[in-house]
Structures are given as structure tokens and as C-alpha cells.
Amino acid sequence: MIFRSLVQTKQFSSGLCREHETRMARKKLAVAVPASMISDTPHLREKTSKIGIIGRALAIFRVDEIIVYADDPKVNQIQELDFIATLLSYMETPQYLRKRLFELKPELQYAGILPPLRTPHHPLQGRIRDLTVGEYREGAVVSKAKNGVLVDIGVEQPALVPDTQLALNRRLSVKITQLDGQIEAQTINKQDIPQYWGYSVSAENHSLVTLLKRRQFDLTIGTSKFATRFQDAVQRLGERWRKADSILVLFGAPSRGLHEIAKGEGVNLNFLVDFVLNTVPGQGTETVRTEEAMLASLAVLNIHFGSLN
């Protein structure tokens, strides 16, 4: 099952359109984390903190998609999957749309402590007078109009998106086209927005092996402390990175690394992904937590290949 809550409108289309590819050749960067990454933290509040660090890391390094996968075949992890996905989606949603798009669920009890993303799609301005024609905003459909839909874009009045029929509460990205009188806007694909425009969230109630069969990426990178040091593979990795349009970086849990997770499914990790790399060589601690590994790994990849995506 693919998690399809409120984030479905934010799923990437399967490929970039030709025009866009020629213009910017922007790569799609995805990361995968195991559902059990929060299981070593007993309190809901600290689980929430952990997700907060993950969400921030995704935004800092302009990640396009996060996939949460089931890493323990012995346990039903649907609750953890749902928890992580809900909190990450909530965090990625502009504040002015959250009440409309999220019910008050128990897992959101500590959502107030989630740090703000401070990305371009979370504008601080909430007044019409601050809007400019050509600006992008995230919105949600509040009602249908005769000639289109009215969309909440976080200012005093909704914007009219003409010639469009969309379901109530559907989330969408728009570009402001008119500010005199009725605000008007047109829908726009996320990948055509030049700034970083947030991440999509997929909770896959599937094992690592199934996930990698179901989803196609040009380049897959696993992270492990039992692996080649990043710097020893950087040249080979760079060659593959340059050619790839879509890249997936996979993380394990502190209690069970990627090697162990793959082994539990009867597979050797080295045959499952293109690279297995140690991005924290010589670590001073016995384990590196998923959120720590993510910040460290994305920082290292960003320095080496960031200008390429």
C-alpha cells in the first residue's frame, strides 16, 4: 500500500518533461528511511523531535521525496509508517493550510514543537498587499466557482483559478496572474518552479527489496558503517551521479543497519543497490542515528555533487 493521505497531489510525475530537462536538467533526489527509526525513542514528544530533524534535513538539502519503508518483517509497522509520514507531510505543508488539510490526530499532539522549514513555499507574508504577479504560492481548494475554483493561498481572500475543476481541499501549486480586484492564479507543476518547493512523502508498507523493485531509480546509494569509505568511491560515484536523473539514498536504523535489514530479507545489500558507502568514516560513537546519518550524508553529497542537481 502506498500512503496516499493528503500528500498525493504532491507526488512527482514519473519523469521530468523534455522541455524542463533541456532547460535545467534538475535531478530528482529521494531518500528512504526505515519505519523503526523512531522505535528507540519511547516518548511521542521525542519521536516528534526526531521527525523534525529529518524534515529540516530534507528541506536544507532540497530533497524531492522521502520514502518510509517497513524494515521489520516480524512486526506490523503500519502505525510507525503512518506516524512518520503524517508528521513529515504536516511539516512540509505551509502553516496557513494545515488546519484545512489535517484532522486533529493523536500523533499530531506535539506537532507544535516541529521546527519551521523556512523554505520559499512557506512564505511569512500573509497579506494581499505583499503579493506580486508572477509569484508562486501553495494553495488548497476552498470552494468551486462558476468559472473555476477558489483557492486559499494564505492571504485575506482566496484566489480564483479559472477553467479548472478540482476537489475540495485538494492541494496545488499556483502562480499569481492578477492582483487587481479578484486575485487570479493558474496551476503550475512543482518541477516548473525554479525555487526549492518542498518534498513529497510516500509511506510504503513494503520491505526494502520490494521497495527497490517497485520504484525505479537511475542510481541507488545505501549508507552503512560497514562499507567502503565515501572518499574511496567518490570518482566512480560522480560518474554515475552525473548520468542519473533520479537518485535514491537509503538509510537504516540505529538498531538494525541496512546490511542487517537486507540480510533479514535473504538478500545481500551489495547486490541490491549500486553503492554502499560509509559517509561517517571513523565514527566516535557505536551507532549513528538515522537523522544524524541523513544530515551527514546529504551534507557530504551536497558538497560533492550539489551543483549538479
* Cα–chain center distance at 112: 20
x-or-dash string of contact with a second copy, 58-77, rule CB under 8 A: -xxxx---------------
**Given 39, 119, 191, 207, the residue binding a second copy (CB under 8 A):** 119
**Contact between 256 and a second copy per CB under 8 A:** no
**Contact between 289 and a second copy per CB under 8 A:** yes
Residue 64 or 71: the one with the smaller Cβ distance to a second copy is 64
Comparing C-alpha atoms, which of 222, 309, 295, 230 is closest to residue 58? 295
Interface positions, 172-211, toward a second copy (CB under 8 A): 196
x-or-dash string of contact with a second copy, 131-170, rule CB under 8 A: ----------------------------------------
Residue 172 or 294: the one with the smaller Cβ distance to a second copy is 294
Residue 63 or 272: the one with the smaller Cβ distance to a second copy is 63
**Given 44, 46, 188, 255, the residue binding a second copy (CB under 8 A):** 46
Q: How far is the CB of 127 from a second copy (least distance, A)?
A: 19
Q: Residue 138: in which H helix or E strand, if any?
A: strand 136-145
Interface positions, 4-43, toward a second copy (CB under 8 A): 43
Residue type at 255 in one-letter notation: S
Q: How far is the CB of 291 from a second copy (least distance, A)?
A: 8
Residue 67's beta-bridge partner residues? Answer: 32, 202
CB 138 within 8 A of CB 173: yes
**Given 21, 79, 109, 115, the residue binding a second copy (CB under 8 A):** 115
Q: Residue 209: in which H helix or E strand, if any?
A: helix 208-214
**Contact between 281 and a second copy per CB under 8 A:** yes
Question: In angstroms, rounded to a whole number, what is the distance separating the alpha carbons of residues 293 and 290?
Answer: 5
* Cα–chain center distance at 178: 31
| DSSP reduced 3-state for 184 | strand
**Contact between 292 and a second copy per CB under 8 A:** yes
| Residue 14 backbone zone (phi > 0: left; psi -120 to 50: alpha; other: beta) | alpha
Residue 205 or 297: the one with the smaller Cβ distance to a second copy is 297
What order of strands is seen across the sheet that includes strand 28-34? Answer: 200-204, 65-69, 28-34, 246-250, 219-229, 275-278
**Given 2, 25, 75, 113, the residue binding a second copy (CB under 8 A):** 113
Question: In angstroms, rounded to a whole number, what is the distance separating the alpha carbons of residues 49 and 72?
Answer: 23
Choose one: 141-149, 156-164, 178-186, 295-303; the region binding a second copy (CB under 8 A): 295-303
| DSSP reduced 3-state for 251 | coil
Please report the beta strands in the chain, taking only residues with DSSP state E, as ranges in sequence order. 28-34, 65-69, 136-145, 148-152, 159-162, 171-178, 184-187, 200-204, 219-229, 246-250, 275-278
**Given 4, 23, 45, 99, the residue binding a second copy (CB under 8 A):** 45
Binding residues for a second copy, per CB under 8 A?
43, 45-46, 49, 53, 56-57, 59-62, 113, 115, 117-119, 196, 230-231, 279-289, 292, 295-300, 302-304, 306-307
